[in-house]
Amino acid sequence: MCGIAVSIALHRTKDSSSPRSGNEHSNVHSKFTPARDSKGTHKYQDLADKLSASLDLVAHRGPDAKGVWVSEDGAIGLAHNRLTINDLSPHGGDQPIHSDCNRIHAVVNGGIYDYDNIRSSLDASYNFKEFSLVIYDESTNKVIAARDRFGIKAAKAFLALDWTQPEWDLGSIVEGGWLGDDRALFKGVRKVLPGYWMEVNLDEDDGEMMHRQYWDVEHKDKREIETRSVEEMVLGVRERLMEAIRLRLRADVPVGIYLSGGIDSSLLAGMVTHLVREQGIKIGNLDATNSRVRCFSIEFPHESGYNESDIADRTASWLGLQILKKKVDEQTLADSFADTVYHCEHHHNDLNSVGKWALSTLPQEHGFKVVLAGEGVDEHFAGYPFLVAEYLREVDPSMPDTPLSQNQLLQDELQRTAQQEIAGTLKHVGVDGGKNAQLGAFAPWRTAFMALLADARRKIAEKWHPLHTAEYVWNKSVLANSILTCLADRTEMAHSIEARPPFLDHVLSEYVNGLPPNLKIAYTPPGTDTNTNQEKPSAEIGPWWKGTKMIGGLFKKKWILREAGKPCITEELYERKKHPYTASATWPRDGPLHKVLRSICARAKVEKLGFMDPEVVDSALEFGFGKQADGFAFRRLLLVASWVTIGERFGMKGIKGVAAFRVAEFNKMDGERRAK
């Protein structure tokens, strides 16, 4: 893992005295050796200094080494911070890196876990070096930038590269473009989408940029009858997940595990324990056969209703793990809010990101650089409760003998009930999709759908089951642009922690995407065990889903994952319903959070934004706290406080001359524009 900065001059200066071959280069710490003039002065020292300053902004992503390289004509600059995880020898993994012929130059963010097998499959005559993110090929005069399949990795450093005063992209905020397509909150900034690579041809006068997709999610045709046995598919999941975990334990430093009270992280911990004790696999560079695997867990206040640390304790005890806890109280959340927002670079309507920020300080304090994490499991195994309604939109024709496949009327009735329960629950916890959509806070499905390629939309219309359609759109938007940023990479790497999510292993995910919907969400009438049809005790369902008959009791989400992991988890976790990782939205008046948000959302600061009504914000400050707090008002405050913080930290240019111009008005105008 690392931090990178790249400079590309689209209108490059042609200099016949500076051939493109045989460039002098250096990748040793922060030394810089581009071409020199007749007096021996670096020709492009200014660019090198700016790249180095950019690296300083993301030094937390790679505190162990720093390198800068600039081409002889100053058209290309590559810079890299390194977090040392594999190859601990001095300068062994320093970057930028260069080919033996000295024509290809690269900076790499992330790693290739199965590197030895990949290396052996290549031509043995080539001195293999790994690079995959940004590559400059002098022989073709092209720059290629690529991003992994799901958007796990991220890297930005642009403030020091003459971006003197960034501006808001108000359209991206209101339409949710930052979440649903390739836009960011900053005007003129575009992301390389997951599964895409970007090519810049520097020989073209306009420096043409081309985006190409190299990988996409695929699902089976919903009409194809499943011929595999359930047992075969359960084993297929177990074997592939075990291999994904084994690969991600490879490191030359210790590896830990993020452990919560849910099945996802607990299953990871259980399978790691199995690999260590049964197969003698090392946890990074540690032999844990005679010691305990270390886990890191968050502990919210018990009275909040969102604390799962007691379940994590029972799991750790059952597996024989050492568990280390980070207590995250209201004061911790208040103290960490602004720094979390700054590193995430976008707004968020929950304090769970701040909790993840605080949790990520724990492995760093104990000398760990790598942890396993559970992101991606709900996206592929249908773990989110709202997916039940999508699952029920159509029968699953691939398994025609299941109860719901044979009873369309029952399925239709269940679907209506599920839809109503989900809407009521979201409103109860202050997540009203209709209201939040005006603030770009929740998934802008129209924007996300319009960003999909025509081929994907055709498959949605003709081929995929609605459950798989919902998973696909969610993964292209919320997973890539929110979960994997503010709940993963950016909050973790802020503390120099590389989190590895085995559930996003592409071999595993491609297998899971080919499974029938009926094996992801199982219809389990009250008290019925799907294997034995024996009466089972009701599982505790948590604060989000209390009072919901449908979501809480009739369906078992991630059913096939539970079966695959059953030997490695407790009965408690096997039966437990999905608890979204969230923080409480109810906090006392005049407490630490109220004081911090009141300060951040002061009227003068809100007015400086130019696109939020100060009266609305003042009202939210009044009604968003206390025993009878309005959950929506509290979440609105989190959004506004995020924008104010980003505006201050990044020196954003306020939107002036439109005093009456508010998000609601913009949303109305945008709707009229789209209608025309």
Q: Mind telling me the catalytic residues?
A: 2
Q: What are phi and psi of 557, to 5 degrees?
A: -80, 155
Q: Which residues are paired to 521 by β-bridges? A: 557
Degrees to nearest 5, angle at CA 47 with 44 and 52: 125
Give the SS3 label for residue 362. helix
Query: How far apart are alpha carbons 23 and 35 in whole angstroms?
Result: 8
Of residues 588, 592, 610, 601, the one with CA closest to residue 638: 601
CB atoms within 10 A of CB 671: 10
Q: Which two tokens stand for residue 137?
A: 């090929």
Burial of 465 by CB count in 10 Å (0-12 exposed, 13-18 middle, 19+ buried)?
buried
Residues 353-372 as b/e (b if ≥16 CB within 10 A, e otherwise) read bbbbbbbbbbbbeeebbbbb
User: Please, what's the b/e burial string for 304-341 (b: 16 or more CB within 10 A of its CB; e: otherwise)?
Assistant: bebbbbebbbebbebbebebbbbebebebbbebbbebb
CA pair distance 417, 549, nearest whole angstrom? 9
Q: CB neighbours (10 Å) of residue 198? A: 18
- In whole angstroms, what is the distance from residue 519 CA to residue 402 CA? 10
SS3 track for 176-188:
CHHHHCCECCECC
Q: Which two tokens stand for residue 427?
A: 């409103």
Q: What are the E-state strand segments in 300-374?
A: 322-327, 370-372
The DSSP 8-state label assigned to residue 479 in this structure reads I
Phi, psi of 67 (to 5 degrees): -145, 145
Residue 319 DSSP SS3: helix
Q: Are 524 and 556 in contact (CB under 8 A)?
A: yes
Exposure on the CB side of residue 546, measured as CA atoms within 13 A: 5
* Residue 44 contacts residue 34 (beta carbons within 8 Å): yes
Report which residue type is found at 462.
E
3-state class percentages of the chain: helix first, strand second, coil last, to nearest 5: 40, 15, 45
Q: Residue 273: which of 250, 246, 252 has the closest Cα?
A: 246
Query: Taken in order 222, 227, 229, 232, is the CA torsion positive or negative?
Result: negative
Q: What DSSP string runs through 569-598?
A: S-HHHHHPPP------S---TTSHHHHHHH
Q: Which residues pair with 498 in a beta bridge?
A: 370
Bridge partners, residue 67, by sequence: 80
How is residue 303 annotated by DSSP?
G
C-alpha closest to that of 145 among 210, 84, 202: 210
Sheet holding 104-107: strands in order across?
97-98, 104-107, 134-137, 142-146, 196-201, 209-213
Strand 196-201 with 142-146, pairing: antiparallel
